[in-house]
């Protein structure tokens, strides 16, 4: 009987420790926002990282497709953002999304580079509470004049971009 009580006590203790770990450790989502100055769809040496760009984390329930969680952030002087997510999002599908560019010459989100999926659950084997989102970009209205030379480094022409 004493072994049974010790076993249940141990189970209860480990469940409470796991529960405290779950709610007490928020996620930190990190990423960058940039202006694609050459309009080529990826970062180049001419890429301008945007200070003051607004981004949003949006989580949706996979079955009912309704937004279940939203939090916004702003990039620092290096175009980097750090957004704290206070809870495990379980099976939700979470994306970091570009919201607004501070640069009037670079306001159009680049389709395919305007969002980044992040996993915000602890039930996936990842140990760290930090999640890294892919860099996301806005397109400049007109490419910089130096872009032709930059694209030659990649052996691309303006027609291929």
Whole-number Å distance between alpha carbons of 104 and 117: 26
Domain ranges of the chain: 33-142
What one-character DSSP code corresponds to residue 50?
Answer: P
Q: Which residue has the higher pLDDT, 154 or 56?
A: 56
pTM of the model: 0.78
Whole-number Å distance between alpha carbons of 79 and 81: 7
Per residue in 73-92, pLDDT tens? 999 999 999 999 998 998 89
Per residue in 97-106, pLDDT tens? 999 999 999 9
Whole-number Å distance between alpha carbons of 132 and 80: 11
Torsion of CA 143, 107, 116, 42, to 10 degrees: 0
Question: What average pLDDT does the chain have?
Answer: 84
The pLDDT of residue 9 is above 60? no
Per residue in 124-151, pLDDT tens? 778 899 999 999 999 999 999 999 888 8
Helix (H/G/I), strand (E/B), else coil: 68: strand
Per residue in 35-59, pLDDT tens? 999 999 999 999 999 999 999 999 9
What one-character DSSP code corresponds to residue 133?
Answer: P
Check if the beta carbon of residue 135 is closer than 8 Å to that of residue 44. no
Among 3.30.110, 3.30.1450, 1.20.1070, 2.60.40, what is the CATH number of 33-142? Answer: 2.60.40
What's the confidence (pLDDT) of residue 153? Answer: 84
Check if the beta carbon of residue 81 is closer than 8 Å to that of residue 75. yes
């Amino acid at each position: 009987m004493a072994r049974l009580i010790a076993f249940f006590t141990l189970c209860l203790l480990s469940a409470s420790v796991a529960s405290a770990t779950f709610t007490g450790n928020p996620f930190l989502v990190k990423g960058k926002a940039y202006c694609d100055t050459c309009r080529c769809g990826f970062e180049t040496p001419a890429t301008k990282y945007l200070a003051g760009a607004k981004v949003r984390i949006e989580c949706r329930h996979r079955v009912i497709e309704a937004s279940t969680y939203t939090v916004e952030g702003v990039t620092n002087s290096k175009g980097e953002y750090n957004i704290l997510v206070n809870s495990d999002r379980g099976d939700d599908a979470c994306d970091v999304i570009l919201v607004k560019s501070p640069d009037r010459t670079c306001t159009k989100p680049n389709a395919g580079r305007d969002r980044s999926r992040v996993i915000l659950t602890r039930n996936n084997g990842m140990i760290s509470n930090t999640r890294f989102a892919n860099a996301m970009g806005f397109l400049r209205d007109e490419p910089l004049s130096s872009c032709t030379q930059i694209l030659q480094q990649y052996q691309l022409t303006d027609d291929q971009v």
